[in-house]
Amino acid sequence: MSRKFPIAGPIAVLLAVTLLSGCKKSDASDKDGLSQHRSKLMLAEEPTGAKGVIDTREAMPREGELVIVGKVGGRANPWTPGQASFVLADASIALESDGKHKCDDAGCAFCSKSTKQAEQQLVALVQFHGDDGKIVPIGAQELFDIGASDTVVVRGRAKVSDDGWLIVVADGLYVRR
């Protein structure tokens, strides 16, 4: 049979390789729906009414809608690897370029409290969920093209966990550039 159709084998192989490489290329260019998640979650305009982490904590009931502004950081590594999640520090907190707190002042609100108290009052955990209700499985740095110490405005729904942490399940992010 191979003598009747000598070209069919190589053409089939070439076609299969072309089709597979085409699929592979599109998968690589849009890993895990990056562009789809980005277009859904990135805000073209800054939402109004943003409050800092400290003001949000003071004024917020146990749960509610909010717009919050701050800097990515508050910890040496504010990222959750492989997830659209990060730590957001109040904009008043001095941060180094890696997002870690930098103390310039003896009266620093962050340094004057124990670490847990400071984190609970001055930082929030921001998470972006997909349609399935799970955290989007793409690192926030890649998804939003942001870095530690960048100032961002986040829109979403927040709650204070039973152990006192402010958690924001976000549905939009605006990067101040």
CATH number of the domain bearing residue 85: 2.40.50.140
Give yes or no: residues 72 and 12 share one domain.
Answer: no
Query: What is the extent of the structural domain holding 6?
Result: 1-33
Which secondary structure element, helix H or strand E, spans residue 26, and what is its range? Answer: helix 8-29
Domain co-membership, 127 together with 66:
yes
| CA-to-CA dists, residue 62 to 17, 52, 58, 138, angstroms | 55, 17, 11, 29
pLDDT of 75? 82
Count CB atoms within 10 A of the CB of residue 131.
8
Residue numbers in the chain where pLDDT is lower than 50: 2-29
* Total domains present in the chain: 2
**Residues 128-152: tens digit of each pLDDT:** 999 999 999 999 999 999 999 999 9
Indicate whether 93 and 146 sit together in one domain: yes
Q: Which residue reads 């960048």 in tokens? A: 150
Claim to verify: residue 122 and residue 165 sit in the same structural domain: yes
pTM: 0.75
